[in-house]
Amino acid sequence: MIFESHAHYDDGAFDPDRDELLDSLPDHGIETVVNVCASIDSLDDTARLMERYPFIYGAVGIHPDEVGGMDDQILEKIQRLSRHEKAVAIGEIGLDYHWDTESHDTQKKWFCAQMEIARQEKKPFIIHSRDAAADTLDTMKGLRAGEMSGGIIHCFSYSVEIAREYLDMGLLLGIGGVLTFPNAKKLKEVASYAPLEQIVLETDSPYLSPVPNRGKRNSSLNLPYIAKELANIKGIPYDQVIDVTTSNAKRLFGLQ
């Protein structure tokens, strides 16, 4: 049974067939899904998914591209929702300098504020970092994130050297569909280097579908393609990848 550590099933891309798709996941070997908030609206949407589906858990937080609408009231809502019995993490939070939708100072302010919720509530965190390697790492070190309740660097896209820094903090790397792309040399190097015990599988659905479905809407049904590629890179059995990454996620999220 496979653990999906990062999906966005509240996204509008799933409006036509959300219930049908989600109902089918257990029959395809998907045991657990963490639906990860991104926007302010997704906080309530994720709560509804947690309450409707026994196998769906939630991460609550606001993506760096969406923090322009943040205020203390929203921050309080995140903290309140983090106490939901099925809320397992704070996320996805972090820095995104690719689109620069929000100023870097604004992103850092709300990144730190949400990390403080993770510290107070003793929850793991899910970090989004795009084109912001140095600032994300410096912020994490400044917050002494390695002494908190653990977390995932989602959709890891940096070098082995940056990976080593996070792995030394005891954090996990989220590996998704990009691993299957022929030109993903850097990520393949990271996947080879990182201990399997510090990797979790994710899709980031509906984004980043793996080969052979690249360019199509992603879903947790594509997780086996990612697991097979990881098994090939590490030269280990597919079942070992599934067993260990599932165990890693359950341990992090307190679902053992």
Domains of the chain: 2-253 (3.20.20.140)
* Phi (first) and psi of residue 126, to 5 degrees: -120, 115
Q: What is the CA radius of gyration of the chain?
A: 17
Q: Comparing C-alpha atoms, which of 250, 208, 216, 212 is closest to residue 228?
A: 212
pLDDT at residue 40 tops 90 = yes
The beta-carbon contacts of 133-136 under 8 Å, at least 24 apart in sequence, are 133/158, 133/162, 135/95, 135/97, 135/104, 135/108, 136/94, 136/95
Neighbour order of strands in the sheet with 199-201: 2-7, 30-36, 56-60, 87-96, 125-130, 151-153, 172-175, 199-201
**pLDDT recorded at residue 25:** 98
Within 13 Å, how many C-alpha atoms sit on residue 116's CB side?
8
Q: For position 241, what pLDDT does the model report?
A: 98
Q: Can you tell me the mean pLDDT for 190-210?
A: 98
Average pLDDT over residues 71-90: 98
Residue 160 — pLDDT band, cuts 50, 70, 90?
very high
- Does residue 233 surpass a pLDDT of 90? yes
What per-residue confidence (pLDDT) applies to 86? 98
Give me the mean pLDDT over the 21-27 stretch: 98
Place of tokens 């994490």: 140
**Residue 133, pLDDT above cutoff 90:** yes
CA distances (Å), origin 5, targets 31, 50, 104, 131: 11, 14, 27, 22
Gap between the Cα atoms of 252 and 192, Å rounded? 22
The share of the chain scoring above pLDDT 90, in percent, equals 99
Nearest to 199 by CA among 180, 174, 218: 174
Report residue 3 CA to chain centroid gap. Answer: 12
Q: How does DSSP classify residue 205? A: B
In this prediction, residue 221 has a pLDDT band, given cuts at 50, 70 and 90, of: very high
Over 90: is that where the pLDDT of 72 sits? Answer: yes
**Residue 36 pLDDT > 90:** yes
Confidence class for position 163, pLDDT limits 50, 70, 90: very high
Averaged over 170-177, what is the pLDDT? 98
Residue 256 predicted with pLDDT over 90 = no
Q: Which burial class, exposed, middle or buried, applies to 242 when counting CB atoms under 10 A from its CB (0-12, 13-18, 19+)? A: buried
Report the amino acid identity of residue 149. Answer: S
Question: Which positions ≥6 away from 228 have C-beta within 8 Å?
Answer: 238
pLDDT of 102 above 90: yes
- Residue 112: φ, ψ to 5°: -65, -40
User: β-strand 30-36 against 151-153: which pairing, if any?
Assistant: unpaired
Is the pLDDT score of 252 beyond 90?
yes
- Res. 144: pLDDT tops 90: yes
How many CB atoms lie under 10 A from the CB of residue 18? Answer: 15
CA angle 176, 80, 201 (to 5 degrees): 10
Read off the pTM: 0.98
Mean pLDDT of the chain: 98
